[in-house]
Amino acid sequence: MQADSFLRLGLTGWPLGHSLSPKLHSAALQALGLEGEYRLYLVPPLPEGQEQLKTLVKQVRAGEITGLNVTIPHKQAVLPLVDELTPAARAIGAVNTLYLWDGRLVGDNTDAPGFLADLRRLNFLFEDFGPLRGPKSSNKVLVLGAGGSARAVCYALAGAGWEVTIAARRLEQAAALAASLGGTAQGLKARLLDADSLGGAFALMINSTPLGMFPHPEGSPWPEGLPLPAGAAVYDLVYNPPETALLAAARRTGLPAANGLGMLIEQAALAFEIWTGKAVPRQVLWNSV
């Protein structure tokens, strides 16, 4: 998809100071013997960064940038700036990967398949449902949060046949997300994220909130004093720090637990494959971070 042999790749968002994407994509370029670079394009949130974001997207459209990753807060802001959305990006309502295809600017989303790929790597997800330690007959999953990350997670899980309960501090936000992805017809329902509403058995629990992220690693989305779901695998999209307060609590309880670094690696590898047509050895990416 590039105009010449030199790949000009990058990431836009705000802030970007702790991004691991340059390390991942630089390692991929080197491993596959490709000439290129991966730059960070810092663009403030809208409305301040609106013209800057438009200019950056125009560079992709003009072929001056081969491929662009998009992270918060711009995953939805770029939607009206593209010519075409992939089915996943349209359903999720967010874009994390931009590229040119046959002269058209396409917005894609590799978060959802990247998330599922990492669950399978961890044996947290089987085709017949259930994590490694959980009952295979159970396909119930609890997703904490209803923001941008939750959209991709819930889309992926519902599409894989899981019964998804979305728990958020504001019930209307959880209900709106569930409805936008098909609601109860697709196995999605909403609850308040509080101690009185989170009872029940789940095979899997996902944290899609930023609580516990650096520089506030002591934060946790789980209500204080409430036991974690018995037998559930716990997956935290936060990967900085590597062990959040939620993951530490899960391990103390003896539950399988993992952070979101694998999802980051998988979504990056999938984006790189879209841009170059070349598969990236995952171990190369793991070694880079």
Residue 37 main-chain phi, psi, to 5 deg: -145, 160
pLDDT digits (tens, 9 = 90+) for 77-109: 999 999 999 999 999 999 999 999 999 999 999
Pairing relation of β-strands 97-101 and 67-70? antiparallel
Task: Of 200, 190, 91, give the one whose Cα is nearest residue 146.
Answer: 190
Query: What residues have CB less than 8 Å from 27, skipping those under 6 apart?
Result: 284, 285, 287, 288
Pairing relation of β-strands 97-101 and 104-108? antiparallel
In this prediction, residue 17 has a pLDDT band, given cuts at 50, 70 and 90, of confident
- What beta strand segments (E) does 145-246 contain? 163-168, 188-192, 204-207, 233-236
Same domain, 88 and 127: no
Tell me how long the chain is. 289
pLDDT digits (tens, 9 = 90+) for 226-269: 999 999 999 999 999 999 999 999 999 999 999 999 999 999 99
CATH classification at residue 44: 3.40.50.10860
Same domain, 84 and 157: no
Report residue 243 CA to chain centroid gap. Answer: 18
Do the domain assignments include residue 143? yes
Query: Is 58 an active-site residue?
Result: no
pLDDT for position 289? 94
pLDDT for position 214? 87
3-state secondary structure of 153: helix
Do the domain assignments include residue 117? no
Do the domain assignments include residue 40? yes
Same domain, 69 and 128: no
- Rounded Cα–Cα distance for residues 264 and 256 (Å): 19
Do the domain assignments include residue 65? yes
Same domain, 237 and 138: yes
- Rounded Cα–Cα distance for residues 211 and 218 (Å): 8
Q: Is the pTM of this model over 0.85?
A: yes
Same domain, 245 and 127: yes
How many independent structural domains does the chain possess? 2
- What beta strand segments (E) does 21-137 contain? 36-42, 67-70, 84-85, 97-101, 104-108
Token representation of residue 265: 């690696």
pLDDT for position 47? 97
CB-CB contact of 155 with 181 (8 Å): yes
CB-CB contact of 246 with 206 (8 Å): no
Same domain, 89 and 12: yes
Same domain, 159 and 276: no
Same domain, 271 and 251: no
Same domain, 106 and 197: no
Token representation of residue 234: 């716990």
Report residue 13 CA to chain centroid gap. Answer: 14
- 96 is in which domain, residue-wise? 7-110+264-288
Same domain, 171 and 247: yes
In this prediction, residue 127 has a pLDDT band, given cuts at 50, 70 and 90, of very low
Same domain, 218 and 199: yes
CATH classification at residue 167: 3.40.50.720
Do the domain assignments include residue 118? no
Which is the catalytic residue, given 54, 58, 75, 189? 75
Question: Mean of the pLDDT values across residues 207-236?
Answer: 94
What integer best gives the mean pLDDT of the chain?
A: 93
